[in-house]
Every structure is written in C-alpha cells, then in structure tokens.
Amino acid sequence: MRLSREELKSLMKNKLIAAGLKEEHAETTAEILTWAHERGYASHGAVRVEYYAERISKGGITTEPNFTWKETGPCSGIFDGDNGVGYVVAEEGMKKGIEMARKNGIAVVGMANMSHSGSIGYYSELAAKEDLLAVTFCQSDPMAVPYGGTEPYYGTNPISFAAPTADDRTVVFDMATTVQAWGKILDKRSQGVSIPDTWAVDEKGMPVTDPYLVNALVPIAGAKGYGLMMMVDIFAGVLLGVPFGKHVSSMYHDLSKGRELGQMHIVIDPARFIGTEEFKKRMSMVLDELGEMPAAKGYGKVYYPGERAIMRRDKAYAEGGIEVVDELVDYLKSDAIHFNRYDHKNRFAD
C-alpha cells in the first residue's frame, strides 16, 4: 500500500506515543524512520515500530531520560542518553557536534547508553546540511564472525560519512560492515531459496548456502571489513566505556533492559581547511565528473553515494507515495501496541 509522507510519519508517531514515548521523542523517531523508509531502506523504516513499541512498553527504552552532556575538551564531549530512544540521542549528539565544530573546527562526540538509532546516514547528513563534514560510527548487536572465526563477535557495525556540495546534492555514504543484513537471510528463508556462499557461515565458520544453517554473518571484503567493524566498535564502544564486542547487548534478548549502546560522531568544519565555499565548489565538480563518466557495460551511470536513495525517494512520491506492506499498515492503524513477538529471542529474532 502506498502512503504519503505525512500519513506514514503520523501513523508511526502515534504508535510510539501509544507505547509510552513522549511527543517530542516520538516526533524525532518517526521523522528518521520516514527518512530511511522513503529512501528505500525499508529495513530501517516502519517495520521497526512494533519492536520499539514492545521495548518501550516493557521499560527497555527510558521514556523520561536524564540526558547529560559533558564537554571533555574544546573539541570533545560525551552525551549520555540514559538508554533513551536512540534516534533522539544520536540527533542530540549531532547537534552538539555541529555547534562544537562551528566553534572550534572539529568535534568528536561520543554517545553512551543509548538504544538503536536506525539508519545512521541521517545523522551525518544533518552535519552536511550545515556545510560541515561528518563521520558516524555505531555499535550493533553481535551477529558477525571476525575474519576466520567461528563465533559471532561484532555487530553489523555501520559507518556513515557525509559531505556538502555547492548545489542541492549531498554525499551520504552509509553502510553496514557485513555483506548482508540478517533481514536478507530471513527473506531467502521465506522464499525457500539458497543464499550465495559469500553472505554467512555455519557453526564451524564455514560458508553456507542453506539459509537455515546460518550461525553468523560475515564482514564485507574479508579481513578488511573485519578490520573496519572492529574499528567501529573501538571508536563507538571501547573508547566510550560501554559494553564492546560480544558483550554488546542483543536487540532481542531482554526488552525490559536498556541496550547501553555507543555511537560516535566526528564533525569537521571545512572552513578550517580549504574554506567552505571552495570545498563545496570542488565537491560539486567531483560529483559532476563522476556523473559524466561513461558507465561500464551493464551499469546505467556512475552514481555518487546517496544518489540512488534520493532517486528511490523521488520515484516513490512520483508514483503516489511510500510503499509499505499491508500488514504493517494494518498494525500501525490498529489499537494494538505490540504482539509480544520480540522478547527473549535469539540474536536473529528467531
């Protein structure tokens, strides 16, 4: 079913309020979920609402969090989220980062004790919209083997970067450090088809094609992706004093407890380097040059990171709205808060 932006956002917001979130936190969360869903990241859109509603109802997301912000130097600080909703904590952390980078040129903001914050490109994009550059690192629950290992140790630990241009384009590179998300494995299970042997491993750490034998996901690009997911956990976990590696809480283990996750934003003011206008001018040149390059056979065009997400968003609205599966719309419109489906499950919510 296709929904307008306003319809989808208000349905999600109302459900989060019904579950116990306060209005302003539900507003921010629904906005970022809509941002992801309209860009084609349906895995980080409406489908997440019931899980959050269950966690909020059971007390695992603090609905009246006591946020604290401590500047630890002219360019650094820690935002403690008191296990409040992750979307608000990550956004507040980025606002602090933007302010600090404007004042002192660079900001390194750690967010500790937060819950899941969804599609993290949103936060880096916030900085780029303010003519700054940003990087965001984020912990997630362990479901990937280290390169050559047999047990899940790291999460899908995403990284996002963003940079402004002199026009309305914004580069937003935003990716998980695993080859595939768990949702893709579930998808193949439901279709009764096998998975490529590059996506996941079994209990012995060997590649699997049967989606039911998956014990863990694998990092992108072998040892290089493993190194990246490890560094994400070092910057967003070990450095901030929150649980790290396999000690990171599982999304589905105990929904009455706070997740204690960590995230980090690094924000840079180009005025301290080449100058803001010159930087943005050169960025536009970069994107023009890439976009004008002849594409290889089978590729329509060379895209810049984030371009296809904007194309998906614009196409959805041109075709009558954002596509949301009917059952999800039924749930969002219903009086039900949640169906008790996510608590005390294994790391894959099985």
**Rama region for 222: left / alpha / beta (φ>0; ψ in -120 to 50; rest):** left
Residue 117 binding ligand NAI, by CB under 6 A? yes
- How many chain residues bind ligand NAI (CB under 6 A)? 23
- 3-state SS of 94-148 is HHHHHHHHHHHCEEEEEEEEECCCCCCHHHHHHHHCCCCEEEEEECCCCCECCCC
Site for ligand NAI in 36-75 (CB under 6 A): 41, 44
Question: Any contact of residue 174 with ligand NAI (CB under 6 A)?
Answer: yes
Closest by CA position to 200, among listed 217, 188, 179, 222: 217
Q: Is residue 158 near ligand NAI by the rule CB under 6 A?
A: yes
* 149 sits near ligand NAI (criterion: CB under 6 A): no
Residue 121 touches ligand NAI, criterion: CB under 6 A: yes
H/E segment holding residue 228: helix 223-236
Which is nearer to ligand NAI, 276 or 284 (by Cβ)?
A: 284
Shorter beta-carbon distance to ligand NAI: residue 41 or 279: 41
Tokens matching residue 258: 């706070």
Residue type, 79: F
Measured from the CB atom, the residue of 109 and 138 that comes closer to ligand NAI is: 138
Say how far apart CA 276 and CA 253 lie, in whole Å.
Answer: 46
How near is the Cβ of 71 to ligand NAI at its closest, in Å? Answer: 26
Q: Least separation, in Å, of the C-beta of 251 and ligand NAI?
A: 8
Residues 145 and 199: beta-carbon distance below 8 Å: no
Q: Which of 138, 229, 240, 322 binds ligand NAI (CB under 6 A)?
A: 138
Q: Which of 3, 144, 306, 328 binds ligand NAI (CB under 6 A)?
A: 306
Nearest alpha carbon to residue 2 among 325, 267, 321: 321
CB under 6 A: which stretch of 103-111, 174-182, 317-325, 341-349 binds ligand NAI?
174-182
Q: How far is the CB of 228 from ligand NAI (least distance, A)?
A: 12
Query: What are the distances in angstroms from CA 225 to CA 141, 175, 182, 232, 305?
Result: 16, 11, 17, 11, 18
β-partners of residue 244 are none
Figure out which of the listed residues 308, 333, 341, 344 binds ligand NAI, where binding follows CB under 6 A: 308
Binding interface with ligand NAI (CB under 6 A): 41, 44, 116-121, 138, 140, 156, 158, 160, 173-176, 181, 303, 305-306, 308-309
